[in-house]
Each structure stands twice: as C-alpha cells, then as structure tokens.
Chain A
Amino acid sequence: MRKRYISLIVCGALAASSLAGFAACGDGNKNGKPKPDAGTADDPIVLTVWASNDQQESVKQMCEAFKAANPDKVYDIKFGVVGESDAKSKMEENVQAGADVYGYAGDQTAALYGIGALSEVEPAVAEELRTRTGATYQLTLANGKCYSYPYAGDNGFFMYYDSSVVSAEEAKTLDGVIAACKKAGRKVHFDYTNSWYALGFAYGMGATYSYEWSGSKPTGFTTTLGDKGPDGVHSYLEYNGQMLKELAAEPTIQKGDDSVIGSSLNTRTVGAIITGTWNAGKVKAGFKAGWPSATYKDGYAATTLPKWKSSLDNKYYDWATMAGGKCYGVNSYSKNLAEAHKLAQFLSSDEMQLKRFQDNNIGPASATVAAMDEVQSNLAIATMLKQKEACSVTDGSKPQSYWDEAGSFATDMTGGTVTDLADRAAKMIKAMKDAVA
C-alpha cells in the first residue's frame, strides 16, 4: 500500500505558506488606503527620506530644522542611503516600499511618474517654484503638471582648462584649445560617444527637441534637429555628425569616462576637459601648482563651452550643454502624502539650497541663491550656471530610446564607416520618432 503523506505534507505546507502570504498581502492588493498618522506623540508622522551617503548628515540637520519649524506636530523621520542616481532603480524594485521623500536626477521625472513614484505638487506651490527657479522648472514637467521640487541646478557640462597651457583667448574656440594643447603635448578630454554629450553641437546651433507625454508614456517627439542649418544644405544633426567625425579623427581629443579624466589628471597629460561640476575637486587638484612635479604651474580655470568651427561652411557656432538638475519627489504611495509634500517643499527652499551649497558644494536651482556672492565665488558652479544661461538645452524627461539612438548615431559617426551623412542623420530622427509612435 502506497503512502501519500509526503504529498499531503507538501500540499499542506504550500497551503499554509500561501495562506500566510495572502494574509500579509491581502490588503495591499485591494482598495483600503491606510489612514495617515495623526502627528501626536503616540502616533507620530512617520516619513522616510532618501539621501546620498555624503549628504546624510546635511539632510538630517535639515530635517531637524523642519521639525523645529513645525512644533505642533510630532514627526518620526527615518533616513535611507540612496543617492539621486539610484533612486529610480530602487523605486522600480518596489515603489510601495520606497521613501516618502527622495532626491533624484531631473531627467528621470517621466520614468518615476510612470511607476507612481511621484505625486503632483500643489498648483499654487508649483507657481511659486516656477518663479523662484526659472528655467529649471521645466525639468519637473511631466504631463503638463509639476511633479517635483528642484533643489540643484548644476547638472551639465562646460570646459575646465589648464591656464598654464591654454590662454583665456584660446579657450574661446575649440580649435584654439586643440591647437594649444597639441603644442604643449596635452590632450583635450571630451566623451563624444556618450549620448549625453554627443548632440551638444546641434543644440548649440539652435536645434530643439521635446517629448509629449501622456502620463508616463511618450506619445510624440518633436525636434528641429533635422531642419536645414545655416548653409541651407545640411541639417543641424548633419553639422553635429560631421563634427563628431572630425573629433574622432583628431588625435588630440581623448574620450572616456571619469576614470580616464582621473588618470590623465594624475599625469597631467590633459590640457582641457569637457565635463561637469562633479569633477571640480578632481580637476582643481590635477591642475594645481607643483603637480605632478615641481615644474608645473597653477592652472585651474573654467569657462563656458568654446565656440566650434564647422568644416561644412567654415563658420563658428555655439556649443550647448544639456542642462538639468536634481529634485525632490514625493512618492504617490506615501501614507502621509500631505506631510511629505510639506517636507519636500521645506528641503528645497532657498535656505536649504544655500545650506546644501555650503555643506556639499551643490549648485542651487534657485535663481536667488545662485546670484549670491558666496555661490558665485565657486568657479565650477558659477561657470555651470553661466553656461546654462548662455547656451543650453533642457535635459528634460526622455525615454530610453532617445539615449539609445543618440548613442548609436555617435558610435556610427565616430566609427569612420558612415558614407551618407544625411541618410544616417535622417535615420536617427526617424528611429527616435518611431520609438514613441
């Protein structure tokens, strides 16, 4: 006679575990929004805040200030170590377990909105943000509404250079910079196949792009990248592609990520670097007097992006940066939504932006704070803010297909295999459009 106990035990265990699972998840699955905390000593308002490791201390102090500013309620604020660049992937893992208030990079607004990690900012507050932060406000837009509180406006690229090699005059044009560096046996660092940098020439000439969103879904892509440029023959994108092709062939240009910048600064074999504020400390140390040997002079300098000359019509054009920033978002699954909005608003206030600049050298999003002498005395951040004013294109929300296609275009242009420039450029724009159609 056969025994069936084992199968029964297995089934029983399965039943028990699934029962337990249901008991735990049952109410999360269906309607039944948890009641917000009351804010009394017995039932404090629990909020979780994510901040990167180096901002932990600063953000904790800000939250203490928030508690002090709201003495009528009791808060229990918890902290998680998640940087702005990781916020998206963490939220994608489980948005319902994510922080109530968290910092993130502005170009991820649509993606975060798409998974429900952002909730709308009160329209009146959004209006105030608009006037306070100027252009930066753009980057918080998705769906025509405001979904986040900008607090940093320093994401973009400009040029650092070694003034002992490149003069301020030479730094005004890219060919001047290349010639000066070549003469000194130095390199010019520019990561031209990186899709974030790759299309700056076309945008500098005045090309624009914008995505239309229906919720988190991009439904349309409008761009003037394909419009005819100043010579009436080539499009903006073709100008850009031609420039990429020539840069790739220029031995003085070096490409690579931040680690390459670091290693070329260690030996000071680089004379100019196209990068952003996050590398300021590294560059300053690399261009200081007596580094790496006593004969080297102090040369830390920065300027807005130089003008570049197109070989298509032998004229000089502006060079644009992607300009973005960082924002606080409020998780739409937050149990204490109203309080979370209050905290996010507080954390992105002018005062806190100034404090963030003082504590962590983070460039402010607010025009008022940016204009302060204290901020203007920081060369890298001041240059970035100037670059943003002078020539920039908003680093708004883009679907992954934008990056993929821009990257493919840059790889192809610099690979030396493209014969029909116009065709390749048209293909990129078509692929970008098709991806959201």
Chain B
Amino acid sequence: MAKAVTELEYLGMSGWQKFCYRFVTFFQRLPAVILNFFRVTIPGLGRRIWNAIKSVFRTIWNAAAHGDWKTRFSFVIFGFSQFANKQIMRGLLFFVFEFLFIIYMSLFGAGQLRYFSTLGEVERTKPGWGPNGEMIEGAVGDHSLLILLYGLLTILFILAFIYAWYASVKSAYAVQQYKEANQHLSTAKEDIKRLADAQYHKTLLTGPLIGLTIFTILPILFMIFIAFTNYDIDHLAPEYLFTWSGFNNFKALFDGSYGKGVEFGRVFGQLLLWTVIWAFFATFSNYIVGMIVALMINKKGIRLKKLWRTVLIMTIAVPQFVSLLLMSNMLGDEGVINKLLQTWGIIGSPIKFLSDKYLVKVTVIVVNMWIGIPYTMLMVSGILMNIPADLYESARIDGAGPVKMYFKITLPYVFHVTTPYLISTFVGNLNNFGVIYLLSGGGPTMSRARSGGAGESDLLITWLYKLITDKKTYGVASVISILMFLLTSILSLIVYNRSKAVKNEEDFM
C-alpha cells in the first residue's frame, strides 16, 4: 500500500517516483471508481432515463386529456392536426410515413415477425432421383438468416413508427397550444429555411445517421442476436434452419459444454491471457525502445541525424504486410536465418522462432518492434524538439546530470503528451490481427487435444477468424466478439477518464 503523501512530498519526488506513485494510486482508487460507477453513475443514468420516460408519458397524457378533437384524431391518423391547421407539408410527412408503415407491415413485416420467434419452420427439401431415374424437384425452405435479418429490420421499423407516433402526437398538441395562444405557426417554407439555419445540425447529421444505422448499428445488433442462436456448421442457412438457443453459447464458453469437441472455455482463457500479455509488451516495448532511439538521435553531437531518421522511416515506407510476410519466411524453421546460422556452423538444429510455443511469443513481440518503433520514434522526436531548451539549461546550471534530466524533464513531458496514444495503442494491440495473422498465423497449433485448431500465438481476434472461417461456430464467435467489445470499451473508458483526471491534478513543470 502506498501511503498518502502530501502535496509537498509529492512535488519532491523524482519523475519515476511520481510515475510509480500514480501507478499504484491508480489501482488503489480503481475499486472506488468502479464502486462509484455502480453507486452514482448508473443510478444517475437510471434517474435521467426515468425522467425522460415520465416526460414522454406526460406529453401523451396531456395531449389526450387536454387536446381538442383534431389533436385526438392525430392519435390515429398521423399529422391530422397539422394538416387541419394548414401545416400541410408537416402533416403530409407524418401521414405518408404512417401509410408506408402500414403497407410495409401488411405486405412483409407481419410475415417476417411471425417467423421471428422460431426463425423458420419449413426445412428445405433437396432435389433427388426417383426409382425410375426421374428427377424429383426440391423445394425452397425458410431462410433463418434472412428471417432474422428482416425480423430485426421490422423491429427497428416498428420502434421508428412508435417514435413517429409520439412525435406526431406531441407536435399536434403543440400546434393546438400555439393556435390557442394565437401564435404564429411556421409554414413549410419557414421550416425548410430553418433546416438550413437554426436546425442546420439536423440537416448535416441525417446522412451520417442513416449510414450509422445501416452500416454499424444494424450489423452490431444482428451479431448480438446471433450470439443467442445455434447458428453453426450444422445449421447453415439456407440449407438448414437454426433457432434461438438462449444463453447456451455463453454457457459453452464458461463451462465447456459445447458439443463440438472443443473446450472453448479453456482456449478462451488461455488466449485472453496471452492477448493481454501481448498487448502490454507490444505497446510498451515499442514505446520505450522507440523513445530511447529518438533520444539517441536527438542528442546533441550526433551526426547525420536526418540519415538515421530516414533509415528508420524506410521501414514505414515498406507496406507492413510485405515486411511481415518476409519476416515470416525468414524466421521459419527452414528460413534464411536458420539456414545461414546452420551454414556458418553457429547452430546445429534450427531455432524454432515460429514453431516453438514459447519462442513464437517472443518472436512476434520482437518483430512487432521492428514495425512499431519508427512510429514512436517519429512522434517522440517531435515532442522532444518541443521541450523548451531553457528547462535543460537551468537544470544544467543547477548541476543536474543527464539521467536526472531525463527522469525529471524528458520522461514526464513525453509521458504526459503520449498517454492517450499509449491507451489507444494498447487497445489497438488487443485487436492486432495483421501482425499475428501474417507473421505466425497463430501457430504453432495448440498441442493439447480438443483445442479446436487454435494456435499458441493466436490472439482472440485471430482465433475468432479461425472460428468463423474454419469451424463456422458463428454463435460462439459472436459471444467472443461481444466479450472483446466489452473488454476493450470498458478498459479504454476507465483509463481515458482516469488519465484526464491525472492530467488535470498535476502540472509537470
């Protein structure tokens, strides 16, 4: 336990001590932060949601209780009140939406929703041959995947419809109130004008919002829904039906009950641990070594600075996948490096850079440095040049040596500026598909039986790829991606919030 220190004591610490102090206190405060999250943030959020719901129902109640016949009629026919009060365009838009919705539901939506609870009932009949060599035609069955997708779309559509109904009622009542107060009702022209002016944000956000819904929210919802189905290699649509399976996929991940001959729980645990270890080392090895390189190049008296920088940046100029594939070939058991070492008589048998389960982990971290260091070096070089020279000058006059100056001036300065970068790199490394996939392909295969083809150096993300492409266990894969999403988002949220607080409470200079 780090005991609380006074402000004066804290200021008297060296850069490293400060860093360590903050590191320890961060974890000391973490329980309180999490507790605070559950005791204050969530109830607060709950209250706000409750208030919002209350206000919605109050609006509806007011409109029903105090509305005139036009407003009340708007409960059934969208936009009636607006229409009757000569807000033609607005009324028309509401009405057209209701009209479209009814057509959609009666033609398609209702049908899709009917099957949504089972995800289809009729299995396909395959074509075949009769006893006399005549062809028996097959029949198309239900397509569970499409039913799920369209069912989801219909649900979203219904939610939109409910919202539009609320908006229509609210707007109708507002029109009535304006009318009663003898205020001016905006015309269609004015409305449009406002969209280009006071309401311009809505005009701007429409496109992104549509895009976000279709390309991000819908797929994410779809994926979450799949996590609750038994969609896998034995239930591939359109040939077979799949259906809801509750929390079976979640259970499979934690108690290993999944009957596909794979111990998902064990593999998941092992790979999660390795993923975190990898992210930690991949992030900090690049960071620290990159900083050291930048410092060395930046040092006064070093000649040909630009040349050194250029040499390092050359590795950025080569596309990452090219250098990774090359490295993968060079480091193989029969690769160039092993061949050369054997020819020179330095080693007898090949070093298993990529095929030993421990060595491969070291290899991927080291090769990742090759790719990452130039970026850190570039970034840190820029920051180093920004540190005011008079700081060093006065430190020198006070008799500080280079090591002291590094820990008192350079490190705090750089660390402060790059904390957000470190966090995003860490989270990025948790999902660093490219390096692992191209370099080791996740190999070597886990030697224990029932590992389902997972490799020793697989990250969760590359394992996910294997689960989807080779094993087609979509349900379990969805669960894993949900868990990964939770892991990365919670981690980044906490650390981002904390780092900002740290930044505000202390001034490094």
Interface residues in chain A, defined as those with a beta carbon under 8 Å from any beta carbon in chain B: 1-19, 21-22, 25-26, 28-33, 89, 92, 95-96, 114-116, 119-120, 122-124, 193, 216-217, 251, 254-256, 259-260, 263-264, 332, 337-338, 400-401, 403-405, 407-409, 411-412, 415, 417, 427-428, 430-432, 434-437
Contact = CB atoms under 8 A, between A and B. Distances in A.
A259 B329 contact: yes
A263 B206 contact: no
A25 B128 CA distance: 26
Given A15-B104, A256-B332, 6 more contacts: A11-B164, A14-B160, A92-B236, A400-B453, A407-B445, A434-B450
B23 interface: no
B216 interface: no
A48 to B, nearest CB: 17
Given A96-B238, A431-B261, A435-B260, A8 B94 contact: yes
Nearest to A433: B261
Contacts of B307: none
Interface in B348-388: 348-349, 355-357
Contact of B470 (A400, A405, A435): A400
Interface string B228-259: 00000110101110000000000000000001
Contacts of A123: 129, 133
Interface in B105-150: 107-108, 124, 126-129, 133, 135, 137-140, 142-143, 146-147, 150
| Residue among B96, B195, B356, B453 facing the most chain A CB atoms (10 A cut-off) | B453
Contacts of B472: 92
B133 A33 contact: no
A255 B129 contact: no
Given A95-B238, A255-B334, A427-B449, A11 B140 contact: no
Contacts of B450: 405, 431, 434-435
Contacts of A25: 146, 150
B334 A404 contact: no
Nearest to A261: B334
Contact of A408 (B153, B163, B260, B446): B446
B213 interface: yes
A115 B261 contact: no
Q: Which 4 residue pairs spanning A and B have beta carbons closest together?
A: A435-B261, A412-B447, A116-B239, A404-B453
B36 interface: no
A435 to B, nearest CB: 2
Contact of B447 (A10, A32, A415): A415
B129 A122 contact: yes
B127 A119 contact: yes
B473 to A, nearest CB: 10
Contacts of A96: 238
B124 A116 contact: yes
A20 B356 CA distance: 54
Contact of B140 (A32, A95, A407): A32
Nearest to B147: A29
Most buried by B among A10, A89, A216: A10
Given A408-B451, A431-B261, A114 B239 contact: yes
Contact of B213 (A2, A3, A10, A217): A10
A263 B332 CA distance: 12
Interface string B462-493: 00000001111000000000000000000000
A10 B445 contact: no
Contacts of B135: 122, 337-338
Nearest to B163: A7
Contacts of A428: 449
A372 B447 CA distance: 45
20 contacts: A3-B202, A5-B202, A7-B164, A11-B97, A12-B96, A14-B214, A16-B100, A18-B150, A25-B146, A96-B238, A115-B236, A251-B349, A260-B332, A332-B126, A401-B260, A404-B453, A428-B449, A434-B450, A435-B260, A435-B262
A342 to B, nearest CB: 11
A401 to B, nearest CB: 5
Contact of B100 (A5, A12, A29, A120): A12
B449 A28 contact: no
Contacts of A415: 356-357, 444, 447
A401 B259 contact: no
A17 B453 contact: no
Contacts of A254: 333-334
B163 to A, nearest CB: 7
Contacts of B261: 401, 405, 431-432, 434-437
Contacts of A15: 97, 100-101, 104, 157, 160
A260 B334 contact: yes
A193 B332 CA distance: 14
A35 to B, nearest CB: 11
Interface in B423-468: 444-453
B224 interface: no
B17 interface: no
Contacts of A264: 334
A18 B239 contact: no
Nearest to A18: B153
A144 to B, nearest CB: 13
Nearest to B199: A3
A270 B153 CA distance: 60
B209 interface: yes
Interface in B319-343: 329, 332-334
B187 interface: no
B316 interface: no
Contacts of B233: 114, 400
B203 interface: yes
Contacts of A427: 449
Contact of B191 (A3, A33, A216, A401): A3
B273 interface: no
A114 B357 CA distance: 35
Contact of B138 (A3, A124, A332): A332
Contacts of A435: 260-262, 450
Contact of B334 (A1, A21, A32, A263): A263
B453 A29 contact: no
Contacts of B153: 14, 18, 21
A84 B100 CA distance: 47
Contacts of B444: 193, 411, 415
Contacts of B16: none
Nearest to B329: A259
A124 B129 CA distance: 10
B210 interface: yes
Contacts of A400: 233, 453, 470-471
Nearest to A415: B447
A411 B150 CA distance: 45
A403 B453 contact: yes
B73 interface: no
B28 interface: no
Interface in B65-114: 90, 93-94, 96-97, 100-101, 103-104, 107-108
Nearest to B154: A18
Contacts of B163: 7, 11
A265 B178 CA distance: 88
Nearest to A270: B334
B452 A18 contact: no
Nearest to A26: B108
Contacts of A21: 150, 153
B203 A6 contact: yes
Given A15-B100, A260-B332, A404-B453, A22 B108 contact: yes
A9 B447 contact: no
Interface in B149-197: 150, 153-154, 156-157, 160-161, 163-164, 167-168, 170-171, 174, 178, 186, 191, 194-195
A373 B223 CA distance: 57
